[in-house]
A and B are shown apart, each in its own frame.
Chain A
Amino acid sequence: MLKLKNVTKKFGELIAVNNLSFQVEKGRIFGIAGPNGAGKSTVYNLITGMYSCLGRIEFEGHDITGAPPHKIARLGISRTFQIPHIFPSMSVEQSIGVGNRFGAGGRYEPGYVNNIISILNLETVRHQGAGELNLLGKKKLMMGAALATRPKILLLDEPMAGSNTTEIMALMELIRKINKDMGISIIIIEHFMKVLTELTDTLLIIEAGTEICCGDPEKVTSNPIVIETYLGEAYAQSNQS
């Protein structure tokens, strides 16, 4: 469905993403992890056309390398950000409506917007200003606006950051629901390894923009190089016990 082939991104002398290749199959959940500054969010910026790059990015057989972000969104790729990107003066319903109007569907469908609001449990705040929501509410809203574009693949950037255990469980359930019930493939960047090992079908670990390991999450998290460069011995020992 989504293929990255030898993708490289440089910012001056800094190589943020180095000859990275991976592919995401339809209907799957694909995880990306790595230390801070490893280039995880940059990968999202490359896929969604926010940055230009070397190499090739394909989506459903089409070359989308260098395409502008709005065209990529209309093809069916949507994303969220680490820090919620919302439209503060719009209501929750209007914000989700914006995604619906301009996304892959290209027109406003009230029923679909209502469905998104319901899935995200935002009914009670649907007329509230987006800027007035708490962090979890803003995250859900950003996810809602992304889902409203009718994506085929959704890129989530650290959705669990700043959430407590109950909220993490609820978000994991929500991501499963989006994947299974709505049939949307998912790429998730996350630091919580438990979340990644429970949610994802494939896990990619990168450091300094370079692939360290990619494959089955259980195998990846027990890989000695991954433990040495990212997870640390403490994680490995706690996992064994």
Chain B
Amino acid sequence: MYLELIDVLISGLTNGSVYALMAAGLTLVYGVSKAFNFAYGSFFSLGGYIAWMLMAVFGTAKGYFFVFILSVPLLLLIGYGVERIIVSPLRKRQDWEVKVMMVTLGLALLLDNSFQVVFGARMKSLPPIMEGALTINDVIVSYQDMAIFILSIASILCFRWMLNNTRLGMAARAVAQNPAGAQIVGIPQNIIFASTFAVSTAMVGVGGILLSQKYFISPADGWDILVKAWVITAFGGMGSIRGSLYAAFILGMLEACVGWLFGMSWILVANFAVLVTTLAIRPQGLFGKWG
């Protein structure tokens, strides 16, 4: 019982750290551009498939080094391109928020079906980033879980550093807080929208690479991730990165506990229960603000 509980906590922490990374990316885009990206989950699958292809090319021994070196710039480029080509032209139109939802929904369906055509419907798996486990007083922690946790936290710290210390980060914060004020001090709003979209694509793609080692990659995986990311974002407070980080770990733990106590099929139910309860009691989320 005690060892099982420890396992559950480790699983909750590991998943929570990856969810935190993915939810922070979604919060970034929503906070800066107020765009609701339905294709976010498909970028998770895209990250997994890119990693799978690179692993096939470079082999498992040195594969992950090249996976991260090559996939992050590629994901950034794809995210930037998608925003500039598909999302950006819609901003000048009336009700652009709804149009962005529809277009990204279409993109998600296109990507998911393309994955099925190109990679087939069968699930793909990635080898663990590290083999073996650490044993302390009968408690076994796999190096894979530790690596996923450390890489997720390192990515979140890089993201925080980027927000606080770079021109892009400062511009993103300014646009998120006051779009008109940001423009009149010389910040190119459209470039910031595209850049933050690119960063968020890379974040969820890296999440896909990390979680695809523990689970599998399949064409429709993204929908589950999209739901989780939005539940976390709403739970933490729309547009609040700090809120999304707290919410991700709480949800990660809750998922692990629910899966352990009631079975995996109850996890989605638990996610929605959290969302409904949050909206009923504190609609602005943990750290969200009105207005």
Partners in one complex: yes
Listed in ascending order, the chain A residues whose CB lies under 8 Å from chain B are 48, 50, 68-71, 73-74, 78-79, 81, 85-90, 94, 97-99, 101-104, 106, 142, 145-146, 148-149
Task: Check: B184 CB closer than 8 A to any chain A CB.
Answer: yes
Q: Is the CB of B185 within 8 A of A68?
A: no
B182 CB contacts on chain A under 8 angstroms: 87, 98
The CA-CA distance from A113 to B183 in the complex, in Å, is 19
B188 CB contacts on chain A under 8 angstroms: 68, 70-71
Q: Is the CB of A87 within 8 A of B177?
A: yes
- Interface 9-residue window, one of B38-46, B167-175, B209-217: B167-175
CB distance from B31 to the nearest CB of A (A): 11
Q: Is the CB of B184 within 8 A of A73?
A: yes
Q: Is the CB of A101 within 8 A of B184?
A: no
CB-contact partner of A102 in B173, B180, B187, B190, under 8 A:
B187
Known contacts A90-B173, A101-B167; decide if A85 and B189 are in contact (CB<8 Å): no
B190 CB contacts on chain A under 8 angstroms: 68
The CA-CA distance from A119 to B173 in the complex, in Å, is 26
**Could you give 18 example pairs across A and B, Cβ below 8 Å?**
A48-B184, A69-B184, A73-B183, A78-B184, A85-B180, A87-B181, A87-B182, A88-B178, A90-B174, A90-B177, A98-B171, A98-B174, A99-B185, A101-B170, A145-B181, A146-B185, A149-B185, A149-B186
Q: Is the CB of B187 within 8 A of A70?
A: yes
A50 CB contacts on chain B under 8 angstroms: 180, 183-184
Listed in ascending order, the chain B residues whose CB lies under 8 Å from chain A are 167, 170-171, 173-174, 177-178, 180-190
6 shortest interchain CB distances as A-B pairs: A85-B181, A102-B186, A73-B186, A69-B183, A99-B185, A70-B188
Q: Is the CB of A102 within 8 A of B177?
A: no
CB distance from B198 to the nearest CB of A (A): 19
Most buried by A among B178, B182, B187, B188: B178
A90 CB contacts on chain B under 8 angstroms: 173-174, 177
A74 CB contacts on chain B under 8 angstroms: 186
A85-B178, A85-B180 are known; give 8 further A-B pairs, CB within 8 A: A68-B183, A78-B185, A85-B184, A87-B181, A89-B177, A99-B186, A142-B181, A149-B185
The CA-CA distance from A107 to B281 in the complex, in Å, is 46
CB distance from A93 to the nearest CB of B (A): 12
A102 CB contacts on chain B under 8 angstroms: 167, 171, 185-187
CB-contact partner of A73 in B177, B178, B185, under 8 A:
B185
Residue of B nearest to A95 (CB): B174
CB distance from A69 to the nearest CB of B (A): 4
The CA-CA distance from A69 to B173 in the complex, in Å, is 18
Residue of B nearest to A155 (CB): B184
Most buried by A among B173, B181, B188, B189: B181
Known contacts A101-B167, A101-B170; decide if A145 and B177 are in contact (CB<8 Å): no
B170 CB contacts on chain A under 8 angstroms: 94, 97-98, 101
CB distance from A239 to the nearest CB of B (A): 35
A146 CB contacts on chain B under 8 angstroms: 184-185
The CA-CA distance from A212 to B189 in the complex, in Å, is 36
Residue of A nearest to B164 (CB): A94
CB distance from A224 to the nearest CB of B (A): 37
Residue of A nearest to B167 (CB): A101
Q: Is the CB of A70 within 8 A of B173?
A: no
A81 CB contacts on chain B under 8 angstroms: 180-181
Residue of B nearest to A94 (CB): B170
A68 CB contacts on chain B under 8 angstroms: 183, 188, 190
The CA-CA distance from A102 to B188 in the complex, in Å, is 9
The CA-CA distance from A103 to B177 in the complex, in Å, is 18
The CA-CA distance from A81 to B183 in the complex, in Å, is 12
The CA-CA distance from A28 to B185 in the complex, in Å, is 22
Q: Is the CB of A70 within 8 A of B181?
A: no
A48 CB contacts on chain B under 8 angstroms: 184
CB-contact partner of B185 in A88, A89, A98, under 8 A:
A98
Q: Is the CB of A103 within 8 A of B185?
A: yes
CB distance from B78 to the nearest CB of A (A): 25
Residue of A nearest to B192 (CB): A70
A71 CB contacts on chain B under 8 angstroms: 188
Residue of B nearest to A89 (CB): B177
The CA-CA distance from A148 to B170 in the complex, in Å, is 15
Q: Is the CB of A86 within 8 A of B184?
A: no
Residue of A nearest to B188 (CB): A70
B167 CB contacts on chain A under 8 angstroms: 101-102
Most buried by A among B167, B183, B185, B189: B185
